[in-house]
Amino acid sequence: MLLHLTIRNFAIIDALELDFETGLTALTGETGAGKSILLGALGMVLGDRADNDSIKQDADHAEIVAEFDIQNNEAVRSWLVEQALNADDECLLRRRVSKDGRSRAYINGTPVNLQLIRELGEMLIDIHGQHEHQSLMKPVAQRRLLDDYANHSNLIEAVSNAYVQLKLVHEQLQHLEQAGSDRNNRLDLLRFLTQELDALALENNEYEKLNEQHSRLAHAEKLTTTVQQSLEELYGNDDSNIQSNVARVIASLQDIAEVDGRLNPVVDMLQDALVQIDESVSQLRAYGDDIELNPAELEVIEQRLQVILDLARKHRVEPGALGEMHQQLVNELSELDHADERLEELRNEYKTLEQTYRNAAQSLSNSRSKAAKKLDKAITKAMQTLGMSGGKFIIEITRSDNEKRSAHGIDRIDFTVTANTGQPCKTLSRVASGGELARISLAIQMITAAQTRIPTLIFDEVDSGVGGRIAEIVGQHLRILGNSSQVVCITHLPQVASQAHQHLRVHKQSDKKQTRTGVDTLSRQQRIEEIARMLSGIDITQQSLAHAEEMITRAEG
């Protein structure tokens, strides 16, 4: 819901801070006081096109900030998360327009383009009247409202799931059918390439193993020489080899360790070292015995490595990845060899899924038709109570001739209406009167209040052309609607204003140099005086004050 609105340097507003409450808020004031300016400011922060005329004459920029409570609005919170925008319990929209024509928009302090702020704005506020933010004008919103009213979530899920599966199989079919013309050429190439790799018969990790063997054979002479020299140093010379020297040191230290026992750990370490030297000598001898000087085997390995490298370069892969490449080609060859079988399988699967989708879409369409008739009657009846006697509301459901598919079914939903007996119904977007359109929207919202997804509803000119008893009914309906949604109503009628939970009065102030618009939040006594003014005009009488108090008391009771 809308919590707070800040307006600076907009039209004839210097600076204005407005707090909004839950329930029905009435916005009143004399003609020309600036009620439409407030609506324009709100429209601008929601993404309306702005121009220099909207900036106060002596200012270089205008700025509007709207603060919303989204704690219980999961749709908005999810949208903010998807857009990587902060999604706390409150949401801040800010719009700044400069004299030089630049416009900047922000959501929770992050700069965004106007399209994003419009998209979010349409989830937060719905303005009913001659205004572009009205969601009921849009076929998507109309379809969603009907589906919500009929509780179609399960049917829509069935249609959506069938559509996704059908689309996936259709794409696979198209891919196979389009590839058919090139298949033979591709098959020939794949057979040649796989035969070449089959002949290679590359084993797992063979390239790495061959490299190790090659390295040993290529350096066999150096390995043999170094091992022999090491053995000579460790063990070969009886008089001065390392093993003999360490043994002598151990014997010497053992003699004096009897004198000073602190040398015993050193003796122990040297004895361990002597054991390690003996083990090293054994392993070096065994290693030396295994070293082969085999030029013929080295040549065979080099030839094998060269074949592997050549094929790897041909396929533009690393030698170690050649085996994986081989398997991919084998898989593709198998798939193409069985493409006709796969095509037949996919065609059969497509027919089955097509029937599943058709059945689900038909069930949804039938249910929409039933729900539409019920909703038609309810909204038409509500229109009669709102001063549109003889008016009629009809939801037209058009099924595509070619059964054009979508995740939402095969129907186009259009809300049509006529406000006068005998006149044909027209789409909502073609209803000329702003007051009629607002009252029709009110009738729709009255009936579908439990299904509304937008937390704040603004009605402009909802009382245009009505009075007396009808005006009182309009006010009562707005107050009832305020129990489930936040409702703001710009009104000239005391019957409507008296039903409000919150009352804001717009007024002009002039110092002979400039005219400014101000807004006051009225106390109960001030509400009585404002409604009395609306009842009797300039001269407020005791009778009008009493009547105003009675109207407010009746609304509260």
DSSP string, 89-147: SEEEEEEEEETTS-EEEEETTEEE-HHHHHHHHHHHEEEESS-TT-GGGSHHHHHHHHH
Q: What span, in angstroms and rounded, lies between the C-alpha atoms of 387 and 390?
A: 9
Q: Using the predicted structure, report yes or no on whether residue 500 has a pLDDT greater than 90.
A: yes
Cβ contact 493:534 at 8 Å: yes
Separation CA 457–CA 460 (nearest Å): 10
Of the candidate ranges 21-35, 332-346, 377-391, 512-526, the one whose mean pLDDT is the lowest: 332-346
Sheet holding 411-418, edge to edge: 392-399, 411-418, 426-427
Give yes or no for a contact between 24 and 479, defined as CB atoms under 8 angstroms apart: yes
Classify residue 412 as left (phi > 0), alpha (psi -120 to 50) or beta: beta
Beta bridge partners of 393: 417
Q: φ and ψ at 49, to 5 degrees?
A: -65, 135
Map 370-424 to HEC letters.
HHHHHHHHHHHHHHHHCCCCCCEEEEEEEECCCCCCCCCCCEEEEEEEECCCCCC
Who contacts 419 (Cβ-Cβ below 8 Å, separation ≥6)? 383, 388, 390, 391, 431, 433, 436, 440
Q: What residue spans define the domains of the chain?
A: 179-337
Higher pLDDT, 431 or 517: 517
Nearest in space to 310 (alpha carbons), one of 188, 385, 202: 202
SS3 467: coil
Cβ 378 vs Cβ 427: under 8 Å: no
**Closest among 177, 148, 63, 78 to 119, alpha carbons compared:** 78
Provide mean pLDDT across the span 246-260.
Answer: 82
Q: Residue 131's closest CA among 379, 533, 438? A: 438
Find out whether 444 and 438 touch, Cβ atoms under 8 Å.
no
Residue 456 is given by DSSP the state: E
DSSP type of residue 505: E
Asked which of 396-400, 535-539, 543-547, 552-556 is least confident by mean pLDDT, the reply is 535-539
Mean pLDDT over the full length of the chain: 84
Residue 339 in tokens: 């493409």
Q: Which of 131-140, 187-196, 316-325, 497-506 is the least confident region?
A: 131-140
Q: What is the mean pLDDT of residues 138-156?
A: 89
What one-character DSSP code corresponds to residue 150? T
DSSP 84: T
Distance CA 495, CA 471 (A): 6
- Work out the number of other CB atoms within 10 angstroms of the CB of residue 305: 17
Task: Give the HSE-up count for residue 424: Cα atoms under 13 Å, Cβ half-sphere.
Answer: 4
Identity of the residue numbered 317? V
Quote the pLDDT of residue 434: 66
pLDDT band at 402 (very low <50, low <70, confident <90, very high): low
Q: What is the largest CA-CA distance in the chain?
A: 135
pLDDT more than 70, % of the chain = 91
The helix-helix angle for 295-315 and 206-218 (nearest 10°) equals: 140
Residue 372, pLDDT > 90, answer yes
Per-residue pLDDT at 432 exceeds 60: no
Q: How far apart are the C-alpha atoms of 451 and 87, rounded to whole Å?
A: 24
Q: Which residue has the tokens 């800040």?
A: 6
Residue 149 clears pLDDT 60, i.e. is over it: yes
The rounded Cα 250 to chain-centroid distance in angstroms is: 78
pLDDT tier for residue 405 given thresholds of 50, 70 and 90: confident
Q: Using one digit for the tens of pLDDT, what is the confidence trace for 162-216?
A: 999 999 999 988 877 766 656 767 777 888 888 888 888 787 887 888 877 777 7
pLDDT digits (tens, 9 = 90+) for 56-83: 888 889 999 999 999 888 889 989 988 8
- Cα 500 to the center of its chain, rounded Å: 37
Q: How many residues does the chain have?
A: 557
Percent of the chain surpassing pLDDT 90:
29
- How far is it, in rounded angstroms, from Cα 554 to Cα 548? 10
pLDDT greater than 70 at residue 294:
no
Beta-sheet strands, E only, within 11-60:
13-19, 24-28
Decide which of 496 and 448 is more confident. 496
Residue in 274, 194, 179, 176 with CA at minimum distance from that of residue 234? 274
